[in-house]
Structure 1
C-alpha cells in the first residue's frame, strides 16, 4: 500500500499503462482490445448501459476527481492556498499556464485553416499532478521544498480549471430535475459527515457510499459529465471525513483507476490515423511542452514580482523546472481530448496522440531541467558545509 501512496510508483504505472494501450491498439490483440473497450455493460432493470470505456472515463474517473477535490478543499482552507496572498502566486502562474497553451493551440489550428478543430483548445490546459510529482520525486533530490509546494499548488489550481471546463463546456441537454437530485444527495452527504465527522461508523460509511452512488447516477442522467459528481462530493464532505476517505481510496486510484484510464485512453490505432496528422495533433503536441513552459514562467515571474517577498521567490531556473513539469498533461488532457471531439474519431485520435507526444516531450525536458537544478542546489549545499 505504501508503494501506491508514493510519488514515483504511480507515475511509473501511468506511463506503463499508456504504453500498453498503444501496444495493444497496434498489435495482434487490437481487435480484442477495442471489442472489450466498446462492449456495453448494463444493469438489468435500469436505463444504465455504458461501454467499458465509458464505465472507466465516466465512472471510475469520478473517484479520481473526488480525491482531487478533497485535496483542493484542504489546500484552500488549511494548506498552501489558504489566504488570498498565498494563493495568488500559483494562481497567476496557473492562469498563464492555461492562456498561453490555448493561444498556441488556436494559432496552430488557425494558421492551418482547420477552424473546425478549434474545439480542442481546452486539451492542453491541464497538468497531471501525479505524473509531475512523480518526475520531481525521481529527479529532484536536493531541490528546495518550495519548488514542490509551488508545483502542487499550481497543479491543483490547474485541475480546478479543468474541472470547470468540463462542467461548463461539455454539458449537453442538462436536465434540471436530475441535477437538483444530485444537489440534494450531495447536501445530505455534507450534513451527515458534519454531524458524525469525528465518529463515523461502518454503517454511516455505507450510507455515505449509497448517497455517493446516487449522486453519480443523478449527475450522469442530468447531462453534466459524470465525473463532476466526484467534485461535488469532495468539496461538500466535512474535511475530516473527506481526508479519511481520500486516504483510503488513494491506493485504488493510483493502482487501478488512473492506470485503467490511461490504458483505455491510449488505445489509439496509429496506422489508422493516416499519413498526415491533423492540426489538432500539432496544436496539442506543441502547446503542452512549449505553451505551458512559457505561460507558467511568465505568470509565475509576474506573480512573484507583484505578491512575493524577495526572500520567498523561486529562482528563475527553479521556476522553469516547475513550469516544464506543468507541461505533462496526460490524465485530464486525455479526458478533454475525448470530450472535445466526440463525433470525429480521427481527430480525437490525433488529439490523443498529441497529448501523449506533448506529455512525453515535457517528461524528457522537465526531467533534464529538474535534474540540472537539483544538482545545482546539491552543489550549493555541499559548498556551504
Structure 2
C-alpha cells in the first residue's frame, strides 16, 4: 500500500473522516431540513408543532418543560462539548497549534463573521426595520458538517489544502460563535448560580492538573456544571465548551483523553444530535408567512449575509493576506477554487438556527422568518459553491481519503 502524503493524514484523521470521507453528514442535514419543512406544511403540522413545543410539565417544576427546550438547551450542550474538544485538540496539537498556522484561518474566519454581520445590518437598516439588529450574528456562522458534506459530493476533485482550510476556518468560526453567544446573547445573570459554575469549573481544572484518567468524574462534573450554567442566565450550551476545555489532553496512563472522547462522541453529534436539532428547528409553516413574509427584510438580510457577506469577507481576507505576505493562500488551489470554498462557508444551518432562537426569543414570527433566510442563504451557497467547484476543479488524480475504498 502506498504511503499517504502527510497533509492527508492530517485532513483525514479518524474524526475528520466522518465529514470528509463521504457526503453523508451533509446529505443527512439536507434531508432533515426538507423533512422539517414538509412536516411543518403538511396535515401533521399541528402535531409537529405540539411534539416540540407542547408542555411536558409546569415550568415551576423545571425550566426545560418542552422537548424543544431540552433539545436546544440540553442535547445541544453535547454538540458544543464536541466543538470544545475539537477546538482544544486543534489549538494544542493540531492545525491551530502555532501562530503561523493560525494566521490565515483566524483572519478569514474573523472577516467571514464581520462582513456578513455588516451586510445584514445594512439590509435591515436600509429597510428601516426596527428591532432586527439583534440578529446580526445569525449569518456569521458556518455549518461544518453541511459544508464538508457538499465537498464530499465532489469526491477527490477538491485539493487537500482547501479541505483543510475549510475545516480550520469552521473551527475558528465555532470559537467566534461561542464567544458571541456568551457575550451578546446572555440573559440577566444570577451570580449565585454563576459562582457555583465557577467552583465546578475550578474542580474540573484541578482534576485536569492531577491528570485524572477516568472519564466518569469529568462527565458527572460536566452535568453539574450544565445545571448551574442553565440557571445562571448564561446560555446552558456554553457549559459544554467550558467542560470540554478542562478535559486533559492525556491522562495519567498517557492515553489520549481528548481525542478518544471526540472520536467517540463525534458520530453521535453529527448523525443524531445535529439532525434532531435541525428537524426540531428548521420547520417553517409557509402559510403563516406568505410571499411577503418570505421576502421580508429579515430573511433577505440573513440570506444576503450568508451568501454575499461570507464569500466577500473570506475571499477578501485571503487575497489581502496573500498579497501583503501576512499568510499564504491554500497550497495548490486556484483563486476560482478558493472562491468556491468561500461561498460554501455561507452554509450556516446549525449554528445560525441556534443563534436565531436566542436573538428573537419570544417572537415566533421573527424566528420563522429567520429560518427562511437561513435556509435560503445556505441552500444558495451550497448550490453555487458546488457548481463553481464542480466546473473548475482540476485535481481528479488527487489522493483519496484512506477511509474510502
Q: Under a length normalisation based on structure 1, what TM-score does the superposition of the two structures give?
A: 0.91
Once residues 44 and 344 of structure 1 are traced to their aligned partners in structure 2, the CA distance between those partners, rounded to angstroms, is 19
318-327 or 24-33: bigger deviation:
318-327
95-104 or 224-233: bigger deviation:
95-104
Q: How far is 1:85 from its partner?
A: 1.9
Tell me the residue number matched to 1:139: 154
CA deviations 1:75-100 (Å, max 9, x no partner) are: 11111111222111111111211121
CA deviations 1:50-81 (Å, max 9, x no partner) are: 31111111111111111111111111111111
CA deviations 1:204-246 (Å, max 9, x no partner) are: x333222111111111000011110111011121123222112
- Structure 1 residues 2 and 244, CA gap change in structure 2 (3 angstroms): closer
Q: How far is 1:370 from its partner?
A: 2.2
Q: 1:211 aligns with which of 203, 206, 221?
A: 221
Q: How far is 1:46 from its partner?
A: 5.3
SS in structure 2 opposite 1:225?
A: coil
| Unmatched tracts of structure 2, length 5 or more | 1-13, 250-255, 400-405
Once residues 247 and 236 of structure 1 are traced to their aligned partners in structure 2, the CA distance between those partners, rounded to angstroms, is 17
Q: 1:266 aligns with which of 262, 267, 282?
A: 282
Tell me the residue number matched to 2:341: 322
Tell me the residue number matched to 2:309: 291
| CA RMSD after TM alignment | 2.4
Q: 1:224 aligns with which of 234, 247, 269?
A: 234
Once residues 329 and 42 of structure 2 are traced to their aligned partners in structure 1, the CA distance between those partners, rounded to angstroms, is 55
Say how many residue pairs are matched.
375
SS in structure 1 opposite 2:101?
A: helix
Alignment of 1:68-217 (within 5 A): 68-196=83-211, 199-200=213-214, 205-217=215-227
Tell me the residue number matched to 1:67: 82
Tell me the residue number matched to 2:395: 377
Once residues 156 and 226 of structure 2 are traced to their aligned partners in structure 1, the CA distance between those partners, rounded to angstroms, is 40
Q: Under a length normalisation based on structure 2, what TM-score does the superposition of the two structures give?
A: 0.87
Once residues 196 and 332 of structure 2 are traced to their aligned partners in structure 1, the CA distance between those partners, rounded to angstroms, is 46
Tell me the residue number matched to 1:37: 52
Q: How far is 1:4 from its partner?
A: 9.4
Tell me the residue number matched to 2:258: 242
Once residues 319 and 304 of structure 1 are traced to their aligned partners in structure 2, the CA distance between those partners, rounded to angstroms, is 12
| Unmatched tracts of structure 1, length 5 or more | none
Once residues 49 and 264 of structure 1 are traced to their aligned partners in structure 2, the CA distance between those partners, rounded to angstroms, is 15
**Residue 356 in 1 paired to residue 372 in 2?**
no
CA deviations 1:180-204 (Å, max 9, x no partner) are: 212222232233245345x43xxxx
Once residues 120 and 233 of structure 1 are traced to their aligned partners in structure 2, the CA distance between those partners, rounded to angstroms, is 27
